[in-house]
Amino acid sequence: MHNTIPNPGFGTYRLEGATLKQSVHAALAAGYRHIDTAQFYGNEKSVGEAIRDSDVPRSEIFLTTKVWFDNLEPTRLQESVDESLEKLGTEYVDLLLIHWPSPNDEVPMKDYLVALKELKKLGKTRHIGVSNFTIAQLDQAVEILGKGEILTNQIEVHPFLQNRKLAEHCEKLGIAVTAFMPLAVGKVMDDAVLQDIAKAHEVTPAQVALAWIKQRDMITIPSSTKARNIESNIKAFEITLSDAEMADIARLERGERIANPDFAPAWDE
């Protein structure tokens, strides 16, 4: 299951225009083969152009996009995905996610998940998944689609929000965890524990945070605009942390949730 999604991926949130294209090219040059975007990011067109302009064939790239919550009504969902494919300049994506569950269940989950599965049948996506789903919502989703349909749940995970209960539940259901915001918007750089571990390995605290996520058997999608950081992020996957170091990082949990909009579901504690 985890081998289906190349790890790490390259996240494109908040990137646009020339900066986005340079960053995607740097990522592909560094060896990334998984690019993550979303309707909400407003950059699908630039992502598509960057992929087309690169030396790496489309068939070798695992491309993810996500459906925004105001596009969940089934007809609109399918139209919006056609629009995404047109912007991306591709006939299919490798992974199509529901970006957020429908706020207050305005659109019943069954309606939009069945529509999502239909797009897979039509060949518009190879795999389907969800993002920001809670334990209860995952159970409901699996009940609707059956086991083995949902490839991943993309959730916020970093040393200060470790999301263990939800991650364990994903594992139980055979759903891979994709960790977004793995560097806690740069906060990992200032943490003394991560700095000490980084020193011991002669790497950066960011690399330690990424190695920790990999050792928890999760996929992650760090983002950067600097070629140097893009390269060091993928090199982080060569680091092995000791059990003691993993335990030290486990103690950094403080429930610090960064992605928490007013339409978010009732999170698992």
| Catalytic sites, residue numbers | 41
Cβ contacts of residue 92 below 8 Å, gap of 6+? 85, 123, 124, 125, 126
Distance of CA 115 to the CA centre of its chain: 21
Question: How far apart, in whole angstroms, are the C-alpha atoms of residue 84 and residue 66?
Answer: 9
Question: How far apart, in whole angstroms, are the C-alpha atoms of residue 151 and residue 30?
Answer: 26
Using alpha carbons, select from 122, 41, 45, 30 the residue that is nearest to residue 83.
45
Question: How far apart, in whole angstroms, are the C-alpha atoms of residue 180 and residue 44?
Answer: 18
Question: Cα separations (Å) of 46 from 118, 181, 222?
Answer: 27, 21, 18
Task: State whether the Cα torsion 141-147-152-154 is positive or negative.
Answer: positive
Question: Is 232 within 8 Å of 204 (Cβ atoms)?
Answer: yes
Let me know how long the chain is.
Answer: 269
